[in-house]
Amino acid sequence: MAPSQESIVAPQEPKLDSQEHKLLASKKEPEMVSNEQEQHLPAAAALVSKYSNRVALKSILERGDGGAGLVGERLVIGGWVKSSMEVVKKEHVPSPQPQPQPQQQSQGDHKSQDVSCVEIFQTRIPLFRSLIKILGGGSSGGAGGGLYPARDKFEPMIPKQPPPSIAYLLVSDGSCVASLQVTVDSSVASTRQLLPIGTCILVEGVLKQTTGHGKHSVELNVEKILHLGTVDQDSYPLSKKRLPLENLRDFAHFRSRTTTVASVMRIRSALTMATHTFFQNNGFLSVQVPIITTADGEGFSDKFQVTTVFGKEGKEELTASVDTEGAGLDVVKAAIKEKSSLVEQLKRTESNREALAAALQDLRKTNQLASQIEAKEKVKSRATVKGDKVFPEEFFSQKTHLTVSGHLHLESFACALGNVYSFGPRFRANRKDSAKEVAEMWMVEAQMAFSQLEDAMNCAIDYFKFLCKWILQNCSEDMKFVLKRIDKTSIDRIQSMILYPYEKISYMDAVDILKRVTDRSFETKLEWGVALTAEHLSYLTDDVYKRPVIVYNHPKGTKPFYMRLNSDGKTVASFDMVVPKFGTIIRGSQSEERIDMLNTRIKELGLPRDQYEWYVDLRRNGTVVHSGFSLGFDLMVLFSTGLNDVKDAIPFPRSYGRVNN
């Protein structure tokens, strides 16, 4: 086996030179920007994983030679069977041996011939016995001269062996789109266990060139089975080929084994890497913001409340009176003293053992009752009364919920560390079934100290373009699969995000443009102060500008309280980045740094002051002008892959009424 070495190739920061720009601008046919040049694979050595002693299929199948340079190498590979076929080998019939010419036989030859005749005669004995039995023959016995039937000799039946065969398996280990053809001879392992789709194997063998003319140039000829994970075909959901994506959501723990979902998850992983690379390369620090919080980052969101009231301790609420069967703790303690005295008296007299046993049993029950009452008294002392019910005390001293945005907490670190970003889950208790929103979604949020709205817009554009370049350069094979199976416009769409300029228009200008539209009507009547709908934004990007559009300075009534109020007193310093054929993907703003303005906004909206006192305190002590933005990470995966529903872009989606794992 090849010596173990680390096979990680660090992704390169995407750059497009003038020649690549010409390639993208030609638009004759979608071209892939590959990073094959950065992956200098050895000419004749397999890259063995450092931690599992196996070769990832990507290091074989995504070589420039398709793995031909590794032919003859002994490798260990592991993966899951995607498809299989069994071929019965043609039996080899030995050619007849030439007979010796008749010669004068020696004494030894006569002996050999005599032995052969005896052996032949012995093989006919069962036949003779059967004939005797049929004809009624037998052997005479003793004095009685009775006849005894001849007994047959039963020999064990040898089970019929299946004919020798070869199993052809297409195996995938999740490292790439392509699968490796693996051949297993029935002499190595039972093909019956290997053939079912989903079977997991770890095998050792020699890589050879395929003899056929199929799409596979190399195959692994297995010589040893190291691990075999069998499959119950009747219950395994992926036994049926090409299940619709919506059906796969019911089996989230298995769906990553499908080629489509696996490609989407590899693209998602690449976007995660790209996100950290962009911010780290541009001087941002990563900050983890809390998931459980008291403040609503947007003011009036549908939130998931965090509570321990209905936990294990409080499944059954206590009644307002904690007495058991009308007995107070003092009464029970007095009864314990009386029963204890009675027990002592009975012990001294030893006249009635049955009475003593009954008294001891009664005393134990009374002590248990006292313990129960004391426990309930302790719960009552730290309990919350709601109506006529008493509940155990909440875990936190304030009302808490799952965060809908990490914006406010991230601001506090921007006011100390400069440029910061956060990457994590955000939660909304929205019961509406939407193709672009679920209960738990991941967000990328950034905040920059000493920056204004224009700075945030420029940073958002650079970040979005960086993600698009990264996908084309580091996910070439997965994007080819997406192009073929999911969306034929996916690569063109991503390339246009890199090449086209981004149009920036104010909300007021957008309203004026939409009001002049005469060739179509919108479902929502557009007036100044009304939030632009997806229909309005789609018209601006797809029909008017035909490229990404950034709409800024929205009415204050359509945006959260923390955005900076503009000089007109009606709009706030905010922006939405809208991309063609998709919709809004990034939102950003400049935050209000003036304490009097922020207090006014909180009062206008009737927000609970105590929840935001710490946030206002940032303006009271060392305030700074700052801005930022947030990107819906799941939506970015959706945009990149061309999928129709965000649930298929998330490993384990949580939506209203559905939590399968």
Contact 400/293 with Cβ under 8 angstroms? yes
The reported pLDDT for the residue numbered 377 is 64
> Do the domain assignments include residue 166?
yes
Q: Are residues 285 and 329 in the same domain?
A: no
Q: Are residues 195 and 332 in the same domain?
A: no
> Do the domain assignments include residue 178?
yes
177 CB burial (10 A radius; 0-12, 13-18, 19+)? buried
Nearest one of 198, 150, 138, 191 to 170, comparing CA atoms: 198
Task: Provide the whole-model pTM.
Answer: 0.75
> Do the domain assignments include residue 252?
no
CA 323 to chain centre: 51
Q: Are residues 264 and 345 in the same domain?
A: no
Tell me which residues of the chain have a pLDDT lower than 50. Answer: 1-13, 18-43, 92-121, 138-147, 150, 313-326
Q: Are residues 453 and 539 in the same domain?
A: yes
Query: Which among 370, 392, 414 is the end of a domain?
Result: 392
> Do the domain assignments include residue 573?
yes
> Do the domain assignments include residue 116?
no
Q: In CATH, what number is assigned to the domain containing residue 531?
A: 3.30.930.10
What range defines the domain where residue 342 resides?
308-392
The reported pLDDT for the residue numbered 319 is 43
The reported pLDDT for the residue numbered 152 is 53
Query: Which among 360, 392, 424 is the end of a domain?
Result: 392
Looking at the structure of the chain, the number of domains it has is 3
445 CB burial (10 A radius; 0-12, 13-18, 19+)? buried
Q: Are residues 530 and 405 in the same domain?
A: yes
Q: Are residues 370 and 498 in the same domain?
A: no
Q: Are residues 75 and 187 in the same domain?
A: yes
Nearest one of 616, 583, 300, 572 to 430, comparing CA atoms: 300
Q: At what angle do helices 633-641 and 259-281 cross, to 10 degrees?
A: 130
Q: What amino acid occupies position 431?
A: R
Q: Are residues 183 and 293 in the same domain?
A: no
Q: Are residues 490 and 403 in the same domain?
A: yes
> Do the domain assignments include residue 228?
yes
In which element (H, E) is residue 285 found? strand 285-286
> Do the domain assignments include residue 117?
no
The Cα 540–Cα 532 span in angstroms is 11
Q: In 10 A of CB 23, how many CB atoms?
A: 15
The reported pLDDT for the residue numbered 341 is 80
Q: Which DSSP symbol is given to 213?
A: S
Q: What is the sign, positive or negative, of the torsion defined by CA atoms of 10, 13, 19, 20?
A: positive
The Cα 80–Cα 228 span in angstroms is 10
The reported pLDDT for the residue numbered 154 is 55
The reported pLDDT for the residue numbered 100 is 44
> Do the domain assignments include residue 148?
no
Q: Are residues 364 and 491 in the same domain?
A: no
Q: In CATH, what number is assigned to the domain containing residue 79?
A: 2.40.50.140
The reported pLDDT for the residue numbered 519 is 85
Q: Are residues 538 and 461 in the same domain?
A: yes
Binning the chain into helix, strand and coil, the percentages to the nearest 5 are: 40, 20, 40
Query: Which among 376, 392, 408 is the end of a domain?
Result: 392
Q: Are residues 335 and 290 in the same domain?
A: no
The reported pLDDT for the residue numbered 475 is 96
